[in-house]
Structure 1
Amino acid sequence: METSQDLSMLGLIANASVVVQLVMALLAFASMVSWWHIFSKTFSIKQAVRRTLDFEGRFWSGSDINKLYGEVQGGDSLALERIFEAGFSEFLKQRRTPGAELADVMDSTRRAMKAASQRELDHLDAHLSFLATVGSVSPYVGLFGTVWGIMNSFRALGSVGQATLAHVAPGIAEALVATAIGLFAAIPAVIAYNRFAADIDRLAVRFESFIEEFSNILQRQGAHK
């Protein structure tokens, strides 16, 4: 009399071959790390967007630039605030340089703001490549575990006189779990990566527009002095 095999998810994982179990463990670890980055990145990008919109509102409300600079300077600035702080700080420093030409002052100011913008975008882009890697590689890693498990199942059938569904089903089922875990790791990572990349691209456009508009304001201010 044949003993029934445990076909529950935990039973399939426990009865899988060592290679398939290692593949499952790797995919589970990648999934947990990617979810940590997803939650962390969701918070940081939302905060950057919120602070950027808030600063744009204050900047274009007609607030005095020097007063706004005093509020931002030395505080917990973020995103667009840091670009403004870097640009206006460089503008003031260059204007105090004896014999400084306005064109040179503005060129240095733009470089400072572009450098600050790139630093902010690099910070927001951090770990996105990991999500992209998990999203693109996980299904193939899971497929490798599945193929390996099915190969072992068919190899084991060679020693059985008559193969039945009861002999084949458990081995194939435990092998397919690896593909399922691979998809579970990949799908959220791909969705999150696309969402974050789009949000960061929109912020980059806002940063670039602000740099040009603020440069024009500073240039007009410098021309009247």
Structure 2
Amino acid sequence: MDPNIRTVERGRIVAVDMAAHMSPVELFKQADLVVKSVMIGLTLASIWTWAIIIGHTLKLRRVNRENERFEKDFWTVEDIDRFHHKRGGEELPAAKVFSAGIVEWRRSTGGKSVDKDGTRQRLMTAMHAAAGAEVDKLADRLNILATIGSVAPFVGLFGTVWGIMRSFTDIAGANNTSLAVVAPGIAEALFATAIGLFAAIPAVIAYNRMTHGINRIEARLLRFADSFHGTLSRELEVDG
């Protein structure tokens, strides 16, 4: 057989063997304990990230839909007290803001004399406080996405640096700088960085999108509170 053909065939066999050893599973198996720990931690962080993304996406959609329905129903009622008795106890941000306004209204107008300016101020404070509390509930766990998005790349980079250090140690021990000696260790190291980016990128995107969605919900709650505040303010003028 022609020596050139033998060389080509031998190169193909080496390439296939290296490709088999470069698969994600093999890279994980070949990594040392430190790099494996980094890979496992980043994989768990990625799973946690996607669980939060899916859960909060569904939650925000549901809250938006139910808030819109609640406000639409509210502005069509004639008896606010009856509506409060029927719908005020719902576990919904708009319902919480509405209930806070009604409760403060009853407290402030239940006496013989009514301080109109004080009542208006207390109504606004109560409803805005309720809106803020509901927004805080919606934003729960989003800080986890921010943390993963900012920390995961550096954790992956740590795994990369550690893996490259190990590769150089192997090179020094084998006294051989061929690709077959260098490539596996460097591939393991870069794989750790890839997992870190895989965890971080969705976390950052989801955090920004969900923060924007929560800001929109907050703005809508505050508009609802202001509109309801205007309705109750007019009631004060009528009663006066």
Matched residue type, 1:46 = R
1-side partners of 2:209 and 2:153: how far apart?
A: 20
Which residue of 2 is the match for residue 49 of structure 1?
Answer: 64
Which residue of 2 is the match for residue 93 of structure 1?
Answer: 107
Which residue of 2 is the match for residue 69 of structure 1?
Answer: 84
Query: What is the deviation of 1:144?
Result: 1.1
In the alignment, does 2:213 pair up with 1:199?
A: yes
Query: What is the deviation of 1:62?
Result: 5.0
Which residue of 1 is the match for residue 50 of structure 2?
Answer: 35
Which residue of 2 is the match for residue 216 of structure 1?
Answer: 230
In the alignment, does 2:118 pair up with 1:113?
A: no
Which residue of 2 is the match for residue 80 of structure 1?
Answer: 94
Unmatched tracts of structure 2, length 5 or more: 1-13
Which residue of 2 is the match for residue 21 of structure 1?
Answer: 36
Q: Secondary structure at the match of 1:99?
A: coil
Q: TM-score, normalization: structure 1? A: 0.93
Residues 184 and 63 (structure 1), Cα distance of their counterparts in 2 relative to 1, 3 Å cut: farther
Aligned length: 222
CA offsets per residue over residues 85-113 of structure 1, 9 Å max, x none? 11112102221123231222222221211
Q: CA RMSD of the aligned region, Å?
A: 1.6
Greater helix share, 1 or 2? 2
Bigger Rg, structure 1 or 2: 2
Unmatched tracts of structure 1, length 5 or more: none
In the alignment, does 2:205 pair up with 1:175?
A: no
Matched residue type, 1:35 = W
Matched residue type, 2:39 = M
2-side partners of 1:194 and 1:93: how far apart?
A: 40
1-side partners of 2:238 and 2:174: how far apart?
A: 94
Which residue of 2 is the match for residue 184 of structure 1?
Answer: 198
Which residue of 2 is the match for residue 10 of structure 1?
Answer: 25
2-side partners of 1:37 and 1:223: how far apart?
A: 48
Identical aligned pairs, as a percentage? 41
Residues 63 and 48 (structure 1), Cα distance of their counterparts in 2 relative to 1, 3 Å cut: farther
Check conservation: 1:27, 1:181, Cα contact below 8 A.
yes
Check conservation: 1:72, 1:85, Cα contact below 8 A.
no
Runs of 4+ in 1 over 6 A off after TM superposition: none
Matched residue type, 1:29 = L
Matched residue type, 2:86 = E
The partner residue of 1:166 within 176, 180, 184 is: 180
Query: What is the deviation of 1:63?
Result: 4.2
In the alignment, does 2:160 pair up with 1:146?
A: yes
Matched residue type, 1:217 = T
2-side partners of 1:33 and 1:162: how far apart?
A: 42
In the alignment, does 2:143 pair up with 1:129?
A: yes
Q: Secondary structure at the match of 1:126?
A: coil
The partner residue of 2:74 within 59, 64, 75 is: 59
Q: TM-score, normalization: structure 2? A: 0.87
Check conservation: 1:51, 1:79, Cα contact below 8 A.
no
Check conservation: 1:134, 1:185, Cα contact below 8 A.
yes
CA offsets per residue over residues 151-202 of structure 1, 9 Å max, x none? 1101110022332111111111111110111011011111110110000111
2-side partners of 1:48 and 1:63: how far apart?
A: 25
